[in-house]
Amino acid sequence: MWSQSRYRNVKLKPADYVLVVILLAVSLYLFANHRATYQPRYGVIYLNGKPYYRFYLNKNQIIKVDGPLGSSYVEIKDGRVRMLQSPCPLKLCMKQGWIDKPGSVIICVPNRVVIELKGKPRVDAVTY
């Protein structure tokens, strides 16, 4: 059996604290850098479940989408997208606000408009 008494006298040295700080700083840097590399490159607007318009996020523009209820307006500005105006009754798609991450979507069910941002896919897991 292991005796815990021999571990009670172990004390950390100044170099141990330095090592912990360095490892923490490197891990925070890698985490921040990893998240910044996955920016969406383009988006797709779907109307009635079919691709309607493909846009790039580096160009500021307003796109008119004519759905069954009327015209919806999609605004692209500074690498972000939002539903600017929509004829749907509750305006939930407009209340969602700006989206800017790959895989994010804005859905207007009554007008059958979907906006999806696409980008570099993330790796969930690696299997050997």
What pLDDT digit, counting tens, does each position of 92-117 carry? 999 999 998 888 999 999 999 999 99
Mean pLDDT score, 51-67 = 95
Instruction: State if pTM tops 0.85.
Output: no
Helix, strand and coil content of the chain, in percent to the nearest 5, comes to 25, 35, 40
What pLDDT digit, counting tens, does each position of 14-47 carry? 888 899 999 999 998 887 776 555 667 899 999 9
What pLDDT digit, counting tens, does each position of 63-72 carry? 999 999 999 9
Higher pLDDT, 118 or 5: 118
Q: Report pLDDT for 108.
A: 96
The answer, yes or no, to whether residue 3 has pLDDT greater than 80, is no
Q: Report pLDDT for 20.
A: 92
Residue 5 DSSP code: G
